[in-house]
Amino acid sequence: MNRRLAPAPTDAGRFPSSQPRDRAIDTVRAVAIAGVVLGHWLVTGLVLDPGGGLDQDSPLRALPSFAPVTWVLQTLGLFFFAGGYAAARSRRPLPRRLLRLAAPVAGFGALWTIALLAAAAAGVPGVTLDTVGTLVVSPLWFLLPFVALLALTGPLRRIGPLAALPAVAVVGLADAGFGTLPLTVLAAWLVPYTLGMALAAGRLTGRRTGIALLAGGAVAMAVLIRWLDYPMSAVGVPGQGRSNLSPPSLFTVALATAQIGAALLVRPWLDRRRTPPAVAVLNRAAMPIYLWHQSALITVVAGMAWLTAGAPVPGLHTAPDGLGWVAARVLWFPVFATVLAAACAAFPARRTPRADRSAK
């Protein structure tokens, strides 16, 4: 394997300080962030009720044939894969990494707490407050398993990718009705996280590995849908009794495995290419983008409701009941992106010291 892509750790389990950034992993991380943002913007329908409140719905309920689109846009597995890779190569102490996560989240939470309290005092309908609060808080759930996995990076490095096997068993037991939510969430995302660590250690080598992961994950997805009655959508659908994401199921693990296999197959090509500016921007602003992307959507939806005096705007306040709504919603993406860019400029990510940046 090319040592420049995955340098071997020293005896202390650390990587040389002179190693360059991995352009392919930067691209994988950017794709993961973009997938999460675009996916949320596409499936988050907000409908104005007769009383002026905002309720949540999803186009996937009216368009079940669109479920395969979620296989592309549900990219949290790639996010944890890139996170495991970066954690295995990082020389930054764990408390500093946790502080780097906690500071922007604390600011984000404080601002939205104030905003929701002010909205409640102003008489905003309770259904709107519940919907907005759910949309604001729901993206933060990933922090708990991510922080736990960061803390477990040392033991996971010693165990290696074999740690994924009992994790898959835990998720399977949870799907069968045995298990607890926190343990299931941790186990599901431990699989892509440990695969990222394995790549950093030079253990995922060769084209055959990528093919095996892609094919194995795809076959597992097909089996789970066809014979074990798992939902086809990679995200939850309102009104559907079972979800593949809350908590993450074996289908989610299989999807992450297939996506990682695809990433490994294109990795040599990605590493030879010059890093596109968009990839660099998404990597620098990963945390602000993740924190504020749903806030951008909410701001536009609420702002247009105010400007139109409550008259529904297609793609923003109308029921997500067909392809027309999807087309209208996509047309609003540039507006969401503009508001998100403004939020990221107002609350930028902390700069990483040069020595730490070289290790990612």
Q: Which amino acid is at 250?
A: L
One DSSP character per residue, 58-101 reads -HHHH-GGGHHHHHHH--HHHHHHHHHHHHHH--S-HHHHHHHH
Give the lowest-confidence range in 3-7, 80-84, 226-230: 3-7
Residue 217 counted as domain residue: yes
**Residue 359 domain flag:** no
pLDDT for res 4: 40
DSSP class of residue 122? Answer: T
Assess if residue 10 is contained within a domain: no
Confidence bin at 17 (pLDDT 50/70/90):
very low
pLDDT score at 351:
62
pLDDT-derived band at 98, boundaries 50, 70, 90:
confident
Is 360 inside any structural domain?
Answer: no
pLDDT in tens, 24-71: 999 999 999 999 999 999 999 999 988 888 999 999 999 999 999 999
Number of structural domains (the chain) is: 1
In a domain, 358, yes or no: no
* Predicted local distance difference test score (pLDDT) of residue 2: 44
User: Residue 50 domain-assigned?
Assistant: yes
> Residue 356: CB partners within 8 Å, gap ≥ 6?
90, 91, 92
Structural domain range at position 211: 23-350
Residue at 338: amino acid letter: T
pTM equals 0.91
Q: What is the pLDDT of residues 292-326, one digit of tens each?
A: 999 999 999 999 999 998 899 999 999 999 999 99
Question: End-to-end CA distance of the chain, in Å?
Answer: 18
Q: What is the overall mean pLDDT for the chain?
A: 90
Residue 356 is predicted with a pLDDT of 47
181 has pLDDT over 60: yes
Is 272 a domain residue? yes
Mean pLDDT of 68-75: 97
Q: C-alpha angle with apex 156: 352 to 192, nearest 5 degrees?
A: 75
Q: Is residue 18 part of a domain?
A: no
